Chains A and B, each alone.
Chain A
Amino acid sequence: MSTDIAAAGSGSGPGPGSGVIHDIGYRTYSGERVGRLGIVRSLYWHSLRSAWGLGRGPKAKVVPFLALVIMCLPAVANAFSVSRTGVRAIRYDEYMHQFQLVLVLYLAAVTPELISRDIRNRTLPLYFSRPLRRTDYPLAKVGALITAMLVLTAIPELLLYIGTIGSLHGGSEVWDETRSFLPGLELAIVYSIVFGVLAALLSCYTGRRAFATGAVAVFFFGSWVVSSAMVHLTGYREHYHHSADGSGYFVKPDTPGIGPKISGLLNPANLLEGMKEWIVGRAPDNADVPYPGSFGVVYLVVLVAVCALAFFLLMRRYQKASLL
């Protein structure tokens, strides 16, 4: 190198045979190249880690782990109450719906980190200049988000299960418990997928983190309040039931009519709750969403349609050149 500089500095022309004017020492990469699959895999892994704040500062870990602790509190309380008194604190199939606000909080904090930051910092051109297809990027991101959500949803269910079987006696009791635990686990998976895809779609339209956080929170929380209020207002509310002996109790109607069933479609969590009741075949007492009966098909169709549409829009968003 030094000889080149000396040659250039002396003013004499390059000698015959030396085609290189400056050799400043750049080296080409001669190692193994991972290719498209490898890029997707490492993008997925990196996103999954950053969704839990791993590999980032302590501040990035606050919201995810706070959400996880809050989600696990009922399961821990259940373990104590089952072992002391035999009373269950919470059921497997009502867990996600009861604590959906924690899921919303997690998504509102984490999804913009995964998706909006790359738009804001204009790193997407760097990704797409690699052998990565346009659909690979959102697939990896959504996959990472769903997996990260699974950690948040499945661990509490698992804790609830472990905490309960610790106080059970005999194989048949454990088997019965396992059979009621598995639907809870399935519900955790479904919640992760539906919430994850919808939150990713809401975040991919803006590069501003605060903006995306607001959109996710307003969508999930606002639609939940409106949907629950509409279920209530259209007739599915507690009324006083008079018994023959003069006493009575408060109960929600058995046949609520079509209004509350349609109102339940307005929010992802209520939609999932109604679909769960339809699949199980009955609603718990004083459920938040009425038992849909034959209307349950509509719940399933709407759920599949909403998820498919959200997925399609997300994929289409990353086809646009304007994103770069």
Chain B
Amino acid sequence: MATVFNPTIAAITLRGLLGRRRSLLIALPPALLLALTIGLRVTTDINSGRDFGWPGVVLGQIGLVTLLPLTAMIIGTSVLGTEVDDSSILHLLATPVSRATVLTTKWIVASAATLVFAVVPITVAAFIGTSGYVDNPGPFDMTFTPVKGDASEAIGVIVAAAVGAVVYSAFFLFLSVVTKRSVAVTLIYILVWESLLTRQVSGLRLLSIGQYELGLADGLWDSAAAVVPGFGGGHLSF
């Protein structure tokens, strides 16, 4: 493999990716996430004792587990899939560029696009959601461990989202290489494997990218909040 990144292929891929209507489909979910975060931030008093840590639910369930894989799916399957669909991949493969270079370039573009369209909104939402807390004594009814409202939580979520974007992009790009109907296969993975089966059979967590992310986010957050007893473990899931 001579080169890892080919700027011409990257430019072509980006132009195909950010077509008129597709970019709308990609940009709509992050806009929803931000609107939801801002709405909740405005309407709830985050420092009241009865608050139960909505940022954990919004960032974890909506951001990491839903927005990120769906965005990565749309992007990861279309960087290569559309060219296979309309057969323009033949022209690309006929050029004297090694196939490994083509693939790594597409992986880098897919990761970068997922970072922009999913991780950046999650980052903004994390800071909006967690800024301005004073240390929270915890809810009275003991249902939820409250989100500790400082940058440690936000950083855990952001790092996990960034890692998840790269891993999801690689996996979905792989699926679009080995299968013809990559979107359907990717959906089977997201809907059936990650959402349905992992919820019923907890052992499958060991083979789920989404659960890796949540574990990473919780782990980083725990190590940051280890000095404060009573925090940590499973904040980001229902």
**Which of A's residues lie within 8 Å of B, judged by CB?**
59, 63, 66, 70, 99, 101-102, 104-105, 108-109, 206, 208-211, 213-215, 217-218, 221-222, 225-226, 229-230, 232-233, 237-240, 250
CB contacts under 8 Å to A, within B144-193, are 180-184, 187-188, 190-192
Asked whether any CB of chain A lies closer than 8 Å to the CB of B40, the reply is yes
A109 pairs with B184, CB closer than 8 A: yes
- Residues in chain A near residue B66, CB distance under 8 A: 221-222, 225
Decide if A101 touches B57 in the complex (CB within 8 Å): no
In the docked arrangement, what's the CA distance between A125 and B142, Å? 63
Which of chain A's residues has its CB closest to B29's CB? A222
Q: How distant is the Cα of A63 from the Cα of B62 in the complex, in angstroms?
A: 26
Interface stretch, picked from B71-79, B100-108, B204-212, is B71-79
A93-B181 Cα distance, complex, nearest whole Å: 33
The residue on B at minimum CB distance from A259 is B43
Number of B interface residues in the complex (CB < 8 A) = 40
Q: In whole angstroms, what is the CA distance A211 to B183 when docked?
A: 9
A320 to B126, CA, bound (A): 44
Q: Tell me whether A214 and B183 are in contact in the complex, defined as CB-CB below 8 angstroms, given that A70-B192, A240-B143 are known contacts.
A: yes
Partner of A105, one of B36, B40, B82, B192: B192
Q: 6 pairs across A/B with beta carbons < 8 Å?
A: A209-B85, A214-B74, A222-B67, A232-B57, A232-B238, A240-B141
- Taking a contact as CB atoms under 8 Å apart, the answer to whether B32 and A226 are in contact is yes
Residue B81 lies at the interface, judged by CB distance under 8 Å to chain A: yes
Asked if B21 is at the interface (CB within 8 A of a chain A CB), the reply is yes
Cβ contacts under 8 Å, B52 to chain A: 237
Residue of chain B at shortest CB distance from A220? B191
By a CB distance below 8 angstroms, the chain A residues around B117 are none
Q: Specify which of B29, B62, B143, B187 is in contact with A213 (CB 8 Å cutoff).
A: B187
Query: Could you give, for residues 30-73 of chain B, a 1 whenever the CB lies within 8 Å of some chain A CB and a 0 otherwise?
Result: 00100010001000000000001010011001100111001001
With A208-B85, A210-B78, A232-B57 already in contact, 11 other A-B pairs whose C-beta atoms are closer than 8 Å: A63-B188, A105-B188, A105-B191, A105-B192, A210-B182, A213-B184, A214-B70, A226-B62, A229-B58, A239-B141, A240-B142
Q: What's the least CB distance linking B192 to chain A, in Å? A: 6
Q: Any chain A CB within 8 A of the CB of B92? A: no
User: B residues bordering A, Cβ < 8 Å?
Assistant: 21-22, 25, 29, 32, 36, 40, 52, 54, 57-58, 61-62, 65-67, 70, 73-74, 77-78, 81-82, 85, 141-143, 180-184, 187-188, 190-192, 195-196, 238
Question: Which of A210, A230, A233, A250 lies in contact with B77, CB distance below 8 A?
Answer: A210
Q: Could you tell me if B21 and A222 are in contact, using CB atoms closer than 8 angstroms?
A: no
- Across the interface, which residues of A come within 8 angstroms of B21, CB to CB? 206, 211
Contact of A210 among B58, B65, B81, B238 (CB under 8 A): B81
List chain B residues, Cβ under 8 A from A237.
52, 143
Q: Smallest Cβ distance from A180 to chain B, in angstroms?
A: 23
Residues of the B chain whose Cβ atoms lie less than 8 Å from the Cβ of A210: 77-78, 81-82, 85, 182-183
Whether B40 pairs with A233 at a CB distance below 8 angstroms is: yes
A215 to B67 Cα, complex, angstroms = 13
The answer for the CA separation of A217 and B180 in the assembled complex, in Å, is: 18
Instruction: Tell me whether chain B's interface is mostly helix, strand or loop, or mixed.
Output: helix
Separation of A215 and B73 alpha carbons in the complex (Å): 11
Whether B196 contacts A213 by the Cβ 8 Å rule is no
Contact B54 A233 (CB under 8 A): yes
CB of B187 within 8 A of CB of A105, answer yes
User: A63 to B183, alpha carbons, bound, how many Å?
Assistant: 11
Report how far A70 CA is from B200 CA in the complex, Å.
Answer: 13
Which of B52, B70, B188, B195 has the largest count of A CB atoms less than 10 A from its CB? B188
B70 A217 Cβ-Cβ under 8 A: yes
Kindly list chain B residues whose C-beta atoms are within 8 Å of the C-beta of A99.
Answer: 196
The minimal Cβ–Cβ distance linking B142 to chain A, given in whole angstroms, is 5
What are the residues of chain B within 8 A of A63 when measuring CB–CB?
Answer: 181, 184, 188
A63 CB to nearest chain B CB (Å): 5
CB distance from B169 to the nearest CB of A (A): 15
Residues in B with CB closer than 8 Å to A221 are: 66, 70, 190-191, 195
Q: B57 contacts which chain A residues (CB < 8 A)?
A: 229, 232-233
Residue of B nearest to A109 (CB): B184
Among B36, B67, B191, point to the contact of A217 (Cβ < 8 A): B191
Q: Are B141 and A226 in contact (CB under 8 A)?
A: no
Q: Which of A105, A208, A214, A222 has the most CB of B within 10 A?
A: A214
Find the residue from A99, A221, A225, A229 having the highest chain B CB count within 10 A. Answer: A229
CA distance A225 to B196 in the complex (A): 13
Given the interface pairs A206-B21, A225-B66, A232-B57, the reply to whether A250 lies near B191 with Cβ below 8 Å is no
**Residue from the list B25, B65, B192 in contact with A101, Cβ < 8 A:** B192
Q: Is the CB–CB distance between B70 and A104 below 8 Å?
A: no
CA distance A206 to B19 in the complex (A): 13
CB distance from A176 to the nearest CB of B (A): 28
- 8 closest cross-chain pairs (CB), A and B: A239-B141, A225-B66, A213-B183, A109-B184, A101-B191, A210-B183, A105-B191, A239-B143
What is the minimal beta-carbon distance from A142 to any residue of chain B, in angstroms?
Answer: 21
